[in-house]
Amino acid sequence: MHPRRATFWALYLPPVVWVGLFFLVPIVLMFALSFRADMQGDLLSLWRPSLDQYQAIFAIGSYWRLLAISIGMAFVVALASVALAYPVSFFLVFRAGRAAGLCLMILMIPFWTSFLLRVMSWKFLLGSEGVINSFLTYTKVIAEPLGGLLYSRNAVIITLIYVWIPFAALPIYAALQRIDSEMLESAADLGARPWASFWAVTFPLSLPGVLASFFMVFIPTVGEYVTPLLIGGSRGSMFGNIVQDFFTKAANWPRGAALSMVMLAVTMVLVAIAARLVNLRRLLE
Amino acid sequence: MTTLALSAAAPPRPRVLATYFVVLVVLLYLPLGVLLLFSFNAGTSLSFPLQDLTLHWYQRLFDSPEVLRAARNSIIVALCSGTAATVLGTAVSILLTRFRFRGESFLFALAMLPLVVPIVVLAVALLVLFLAIGIDRSLWTIAIGHTVVALPFVVLIVTARLAGFDRDLEDAAMDLGAHYPKVIAMIVLPLIAPAVISAWIVAFTVSLDEFALALFLAGNDATFPVYLFSQLRFASRLPVMIALAVLMMVGTLALVLLAEWIRRRGHRGQVN
Amino acid sequence: MNHLLRKFLLIPALFALAIPACSQKEEAAEVTQTSGDLAVLEWAGYDAADFWTDFKGKYPEAKVSFEIGSSDADVYGKMKAGTKADIFHAYTGWLQFYVDEGLVEEIDVSKLKNWDKVPESFRAMGRFNGKQYFLPWDWGFSSILYRTDKVKGSVDSWAALLDPKYKGHIATWDDGPGMVTVSSYIHHYDETNISAEQLSAIKAEWIKQRELNLFYWAGEPELIDGMANGDVWVAYGWQGTYATLLGKGVPVAYADPKEGRNSWVGLYGIRKGSPNKDLALRFLDEKLANATASNVVNQFYYGVANDEVMKSISDPTLKQAFSVDDPTVLQRTNFTPNLTARQRDDWTAMWTEVKAAP
């Protein structure tokens, strides 16, 4: 048992210390900061705890509404990304054969190009005088340029799905890879039709990957702010934009910290509920 | 196992999936195609009409040491943080799926938490931390932040693969007297190698284009996204940035295709 | 919570004990500092060598490094968080706090060789309680930028930004205090004394404006692209955007609204406690020098506090952008007043509510 003990600590300590020091401690600092009344004085000195920020936040209904909307958007994005990514993962594992690694790389490479530049070129393509609209008006498919392709909440959702699909494919890919092909053969031998054996055998076995993928997309999307900032226009802001604004536009770190704590709490509650429903522990075994 | 049996077990019309994949790839590369086009455009903004075609920007790129240095910095940071995140994340995955201990939920929550917190919050928090304990900001501080942010992705990908894998092989090895660390190295790691590699690629990708943390935690050396942001004020500098982005993308594609070609040749050689 | 904070207090405390030991050495070095390391908290783009070229030429042994701040709030936040930068770049409206919180050193103007090129009106902007704390450097107008081919007639009032005629084609700056300013011009509020009811009315006004607005721009390139490709017809813009669009041949005009244009000024301050005060002062002095100042005008299309350079502008595009030939424009221009911390918090919070509104 002893070597296993030592192994345990060798595996346990580095990640925990790293995340503890470079994540928990800063977050605790932020949590403490949320109890500051304002930015006056030396930021790193002791201050008198105050509930001012939380009181202000709770009084503003529109913040809560925006949080609910952001959660809704994140849910839609996660659902769609996972659904659209599944066929990609399936293709990679069961169709691509030895080219799977290559195909995976091909999927990832666009993300090594600056997101900012890619969004600029998307705006170029989707703008009201951009390529797509010009083509559609030229061929008389539409009379007026489509306004909704950019600068709207829907544009944000579509862009987020588009950006997440390759990432969402990965946990599913990992899960599908461990499916024993013999099991599938037996199902076929027993006369199961392809779709039936997919739903009865393949999909359930890939479920841990599907769920991992869902949460991997859902959780960070709740706090997303870059895409709404670049593509959302005036009405496409998400909760993350408000949080970011308090840090980078309002110089009101305590308010920003309080808002992030609220978002953190709500997201964690949601994830806890979902984990309960789905019985994550059982899946991990 | 034959491909025939597999296709019988899978949904019908296999070419649908391939088409789907190709369409997705085209959609992903469309903006890159636009960038490629404009990297040859003599004008300085992304709008029609195109002015003269020119290789001028690529030439200018090689005369711009700051641009190249920013790209180099990004790659270094991504390499380090990607590797660190993969090592730490794989450790966490192994712990979660192979060990039984009281803090399991805590460990999982801890590994997932960086996903929940908006990156700008983490950026400011880390800034305050580094200032408070007197660490100078540099490429290393950026790498530290990136490792934290990439960790959840690694854990999710590797765990998805490791979960449910039989422990038979490992138990058998231990019965034969192997120490557990050796079991991990010789049995577990090879089993999850594809997932670990995918996870590394994701961690690398997350770091390469990350902006918020890099902006807050950068010292004198900027990474490419931060440098790009600072140069965007000059409309005239944009084409050089585009040229670099295109070059990086084309270069990587070429490398990847080359690696694939070599692998295929090697494989064919083996078969013969 | 408390013991964690106390732990963090310990480290600055230890440093504080060490400082008296170092300060003796500093006193001696200060008077003749022409080399050493200088750290500047600067805005993106201004770190380019062109914008400190005189200093670079005159003091080749000095090493200058830059920390990038992405906004006034960011610069202020970093100064509060304890950045080690020696010099920082802030804009009108965001100056008061540095003085009030003791974050900025006084500038000894007698040591500045280029100070007499700075007009009195600009000098006054950096003066608080009779002391010169900031050095004015770059400046520009804010006004309404519009496409002459898409807008019938001309624009003569700030109210154009809220005009339903341009629904879906308006772009305004992503800045709460900026929009409070616009509203106060339109409704003739006293910008320095906005009451709570007025702020509510302003908030409601901008929530309604959201229906007409296409996007909020945070940086000029976004606005330039938007106006160049015809998505945006009417916008809140700085004259740098105007000059750039003129240079691209886009048909635009820069309004001279009846309420008067707005103007902002960028100023440099020396961080209190900087160990490189002398070198910093020299850096500031060379910022006002002619070559550096000319680069700002020619590359960024912003004005500079160096009157010599401004008077020698010959490029017609630039002359048009600065309205050099029409002195009445400057006379009717409203300069951004200073915000108190309370106003800053209220007005920026108001803007987040505009964004969050249903």
Is residue C272 a part of any domain in this protein?
Answer: yes
Phi-psi region of C288 (alpha: psi -120 to 50; beta: other; left: phi over 0): alpha
Residues C98 and C231 in one domain: no
Q: In the prediction, which pLDDT does A129 show?
A: 67
Q: How far apart are CA C241 and CA A162, in angstroms?
A: 32
- A216 vs B: CB within 8 A: yes
B118–A240 CB contact, under 8 Å = yes
Residues C130 and C274 in one domain: yes
Residues C127 and C193 in one domain: no
Residues C163 and C246 in one domain: yes
pLDDT, tens digit (0-9, with 9 covering 90-100), for B67-120: 888 889 999 999 999 999 999 999 999 988 888 888 888 888 889 889 878 787
Q: What is the CATH number of the domain that holds C317?
A: 3.40.190.10
Confidence of residue C9 (pLDDT cuts 50, 70, 90): very low
- C11 vs B: CB within 8 A: yes
Is residue C212 a part of any domain in this protein?
Answer: yes
State the DSSP code for C51: G
Q: Which residues of C touch A124 (CB under 8 A)?
A: 229
Is residue C5 a part of any domain in this protein?
Answer: no
Quote the CATH superfamily of domain A49-284: MetI-like (1.10.3720.10)
Q: Which amino acid is at A145?
A: P
Confidence of residue A144 (pLDDT cuts 50, 70, 90): low
* Closest CB to C68 among B127, B131, B215: B215
* Closest CB to A248 among C4, C74, C341: C74
Residues C258 and C268 in one domain: no
- C102 vs A: CB within 8 A: no
Q: Which residue has the higher pLDDT, B10 or A20?
A: A20
B128–C81 CB contact, under 8 Å = yes
B234–C45 CB contact, under 8 Å = yes
A60–C353 CB contact, under 8 Å = yes
- What tokens were used for C53? 């070229």
pLDDT, tens digit (0-9, with 9 covering 90-100), for C327-354: 788 778 898 888 888 999 999 999 999 9
C221–B233 CB contact, under 8 Å = yes
pLDDT at C31 over 60: no
Residue intervals of chain B classified under CATH 1.10.3720.10 are 65-240
Is residue C121 a part of any domain in this protein?
Answer: yes
pLDDT at A81 over 90: yes
Q: How far apart are CA B189 and CA B170, in angstroms?
A: 11
Pick from C75, C337, B237, B89: nearest CA to A248: C75
Q: In the prediction, which pLDDT does A96 show?
A: 81
Q: In the prediction, which pLDDT does A88 show?
A: 93
**What percentage of chain A carries pLDDT values higher than 70?**
91
pLDDT at A1 over 70: no
Rounded to two decimals, the pTM is: 0.84
- B133 vs C: CB within 8 A: yes
**What percentage of chain C carries pLDDT values higher than 70?**
91
Mean pLDDT of chain C: 86
Is residue C18 a part of any domain in this protein?
Answer: no
pLDDT, tens digit (0-9, with 9 covering 90-100), for C34-64: 788 899 999 888 888 889 999 999 999 999 9
Residues C39 and C122 in one domain: yes
Residues C214 and C318 in one domain: no
Q: Which residues of C touch A62 (CB under 8 A)?
A: 353, 356-358
- A128 vs C: CB within 8 A: yes
Is residue C293 a part of any domain in this protein?
Answer: yes
Q: Which residues of A touch C83 (CB under 8 A)?
A: none
ipTM > 0.90?
no
Give the pairing type, strands C62-69 and C36-43.
Answer: parallel
Q: In the prediction, which pLDDT does C23 show?
A: 39
Instruction: Please name the residue of chain C whose CA is at the shortest distance from the CA of residue A256.
Output: C349
pLDDT at A25 over 90: yes
Backbone torsions φ then ψ of C135, nearest 5 degrees: -110, 115
Is residue C285 a part of any domain in this protein?
Answer: yes
Q: Which residues of A touch B105 (CB under 8 A)?
A: 281
Confidence of residue A143 (pLDDT cuts 50, 70, 90): low
Question: What sign does the dihedral C317-C319-C325-C327 (CA atoms) show?
Answer: positive
Q: Which residue has the higher pLDDT, C284 or B263?
A: C284
Q: Which residue has the higher pLDDT, C16 or C269?
A: C269
Pick from A230, B143, C267, B149: nearest CA to A244: A230
Residue range(s) defining the domain that contains residue C187: 157-262+340-356
Q: Which residues of C touch A29 (CB under 8 A)?
A: 4
A245–C77 CB contact, under 8 Å = no
pLDDT, tens digit (0-9, with 9 covering 90-100), for C215-267: 999 888 889 888 988 889 999 999 889 988 888 889 999 999 999 999 999 99
pLDDT at A183 over 50: yes
Q: In the prediction, which pLDDT does B260 show?
A: 75
Residues C305 and C285 in one domain: yes
Residues C235 and C272 in one domain: no
Count CB pairs under 8 A between chains A and B: 318
Residues C213 and C236 in one domain: yes
- A56 vs C: CB within 8 A: yes
Instruction: Please name the residue of chain C whose CA is at the shortest distance from the CA of residue A48.
Output: C2
Q: In the prediction, which pLDDT does C30 show?
A: 44
Is residue C43 a part of any domain in this protein?
Answer: yes
Q: In the prediction, which pLDDT does C11 show?
A: 43
pLDDT at C299 over 60: yes
Q: Which residues of B touch A196 (CB under 8 A)?
A: none
Confidence of residue A82 (pLDDT cuts 50, 70, 90): very high
C-alpha angle C337-C302-C133 in degrees, rounded to nearest 5: 45
Domain spans, chain A: 49-284
Question: Based on the number of CB atoms within 10 Å of its own CB, is C52 exposed (0-12), middle (13-18) or buried (19 or more)?
Answer: buried
pLDDT at C24 over 90: no
Pick from C282, C220, C313: nearest CA to C52: C282
Domain count, chain C: 2
Residues C218 and C291 in one domain: no
CA C85 centroid distance within chain: 18
- Chains touching chain B through at least 3 C-beta pairs below 8 angstroms are A, C
Task: Determine the residue among B126, B216, B228 to mutate to test chain C binding: the one whose Cβ has the most chain C Cβ atoms within 10 Å.
Answer: B216
Count CB pairs under 8 A between chains A and C: 118
* pLDDT (average), residues C311-333: 83
- Residues with pLDDT less than 70, chain B: 1-14, 45-49, 164, 233-235, 266-272
* pLDDT (average), residues A237-266: 90
Provide CATH code, domain B65-240: 1.10.3720.10
Q: Which residues of A touch C10 (CB under 8 A)?
A: none
* pLDDT (average), residues C268-293: 93
Residues C250 and C170 in one domain: yes
Lowest mean pLDDT of A269-283, C46-60, C146-160, name the range.
Answer: A269-283
Q: Which residues of C touch B218 (CB under 8 A)?
A: 67-68
Task: Determine the residue among A73, A245, A246, A247 to mutate to test chain C binding: the one whose Cβ has the most chain C Cβ atoms within 10 Å.
Answer: A245
Q: Show Cβ contacts of residue C96 under 8 Å, excluding neighbours closer than 6 positions.
A: C128, C338, C339, C340, C341
**What percentage of chain B carries pLDDT values higher than 70?**
88
Q: In the prediction, which pLDDT does C220 show?
A: 84
Phi-psi region of B51 (alpha: psi -120 to 50; beta: other; left: phi over 0): beta
Question: What sign does the dihedral C151-C154-C158-C163 (CA atoms) show?
Answer: negative
A28–C230 CB contact, under 8 Å = no
pLDDT at C25 over 50: no
Q: How far apart are CA C100 and CA C266, in angstroms?
A: 19
